[in-house]
Amino acid sequence: MEVKFMENTLQCMQPLLGQVHKGEQTTEIRLPDAYPDIGKVIGCWGQVLIRGKEWRSGSVGASGGVMAWVLYAPEDGTTPRVVDAWIPIQCRWDLTDDREDGVIQLQPLLTELDARSLSARKMLVRASVETYAAAMTRQTVSLTVPPQLPEDVQLLKNSYPAELPMEAGEKQVQLDEAITVPGNLPPVHKIVAYSVKPAIAEQKVLGNRLVFRGQTDVEMTYLTEEGALHHWQAEFPFSQYTELDRDYSPNASAWVSPVLTAMEMEMSEGQLHLRGGMAAQYTIFDRAVIELVEDAYSPHRNVEIKKQQVEIPMLLDRMTMDIAVSSALSTDGEKVLWADAYPEYPVMATEEEPIVRLNGKFLVLAQNEEGQLYEESARYDGQEAFASESGNLHYLWLGNADQTEIFPNADGFSFNCRYPVTALTYSGIPMPMVTELDLGEMKEADADRPSIILRRVGEEGLWGLAKNCGSTVSAIQEANKLTGEAEEGQLLLIPVC
């Protein structure tokens, strides 16, 4: 007798991709006619913007660019000048299947930026960008539910409390801030460079709304009227919400990752105004209990089983680790004005134990005894142990570093900072699921068969003992006064059915 299990569908999001695209682009800058000739390039700074995302059958893509600023010392010895450039970037990632639509979540990192003079009137600017892409698509998971079966048929049912990605999207947020430089700093004459780094501090799911708050870290380098260079930074809080597709339970949670899409700093009559935009990329998780029938048998008849593997994109863990990085630089500088950290994307590595490794460099602006400005760099690396199982899918998200600390030493300076790295770990291991049974005819009882036998518990546990000995789990538990599993090696009475 063939018995087909009933179908029960589960709607959720399926992670498809977690890869880094590495790209390098260059552009030439020609000086405006009013600017003096290039004597020496002092330094180069920049910010990555993501302008668009694209999902095609078999691939996803992104477009944007790097806003770059180059500070140079003129050949005529006058005060330093700054010129800017836009370096376009394009990224594409191949998918493992031909899904037509989904959600793309990105994190771009500017890992290298430098400039050099090609002539007295022209510069070449080079930017290296690593862009991490996570792709998710709506998925219907088919689960099976057993129908009413004869009493002699035993089923191995397992329940898995699961946290599932249920919805993903993004909220466009406008940034609009009036900025006042503190009175203890000299007035701004010319903006050299600025950066905008949004960070999420808290996210909550309230019914059909996602509420999140955080702050935007703004850093600015500027020249005074006398040509002196200064660095200033501040934080601006924000709070936003977005409507979701449906109501969620009180157990629902969210993960929000911001990416900058636009920025512009204007100066008018000594006042600064920052305008920009960011995409708050989010994933909503909710809890459910997944019940699967993984095996079946009967002590009184032959049972043939049909199974299939089912992949359920459960969130196994969400963990944030702090990775400390440090380096040292030998310099003849009288002082270091500031240092910026340029990280590469963190990678999962397996040595004696799984670790997350983070490499990058500190970019240092220093000033020598003659008052000349120059730029140096120092490589760094850091790592942190990470508990991981093979076969799972890990999404790594890099947070903003805390402020770089600078310490003088005997040969120069030491630098250190800490980066938060959040790992979202999804199950990538298929699970067995019974879909159909073929039940044979009932067997006649064997008069010579013993009613009770003795067996030691092995790795198979009570289910394996019951199945191999023609008993049931409940009968073994009752005969041995057990409320759960027995210890391995324990001697048990096995009632034979």
Is residue 63 within 8 A of residue 88, CB to CB? The reply is: yes
For residue range 131-149, what is the model confidence (pLDDT) as tens digits?
Answer: 999 999 999 999 999 999 9
Angle between helix 473-480 and 461-469 (nearest 10)? 110
In this prediction, residue 17 carries a pLDDT of 84
In this prediction, residue 14 carries a pLDDT of 92
In this prediction, residue 26 carries a pLDDT of 96
Write out the two tokens for 277: 């935009």
Residue 66 to residues 69, 183, 257, 280, 459, Cα–Cα distance (Å)? 10, 32, 20, 20, 58
Residue 242 burial by Cβ neighbours in a 10 Å radius (0-12, 13-18, 19+): middle
Consecutive H or E run containing 342: strand 335-343
In angstroms, the CA 444 to CA 307 distance is 28
Is residue 57 within 8 A of residue 137, CB to CB? The reply is: no
In this prediction, residue 97 carries a pLDDT of 78
In this prediction, residue 497 carries a pLDDT of 80
In this prediction, residue 391 carries a pLDDT of 66
In this prediction, residue 348 carries a pLDDT of 86
Residue 309 to residues 142, 156, 343, Cα–Cα distance (Å)? 11, 16, 40
In this prediction, residue 68 carries a pLDDT of 97
In this prediction, residue 199 carries a pLDDT of 95
Decide: helix, strand or coil at residue 301: coil
DSSP 469: H
HSE-up (13 A, CA, CB side) for residue 344: 19
For residue range 334-393, what is the model confidence (pLDDT) as tens digits?
Answer: 788 888 889 999 998 876 778 999 999 999 888 888 888 888 899 999 999 887 666 678
In angstroms, the CA 126 to CA 117 distance is 12
> Model's pTM, two decimal places?
0.90
Per-residue pLDDT 10s for the chain (497 aa) are: 899 999 999 999 999 888 999 999 999 999 999 999 999 999 999 999 999 999 988 899 999 999 999 999 999 999 999 999 999 999 999 998 788 899 999 999 999 999 999 999 999 999 999 999 999 999 999 999 999 999 999 999 999 999 999 999 999 999 999 988 888 889 999 999 999 999 999 999 999 999 999 999 999 999 998 888 888 999 999 999 999 999 999 999 999 999 999 999 998 877 899 999 999 999 999 999 999 999 999 999 999 999 999 999 999 999 999 999 999 988 766 788 888 889 999 998 876 778 999 999 999 888 888 888 888 899 999 999 887 666 678 899 999 998 888 888 877 889 999 999 999 999 877 899 999 999 999 988 776 677 888 888 888 889 999 999 999 999 999 999 999 999 888 999 999 88
For residue range 408-426, what is the model confidence (pLDDT) as tens digits?
Answer: 887 788 999 999 999 999 9
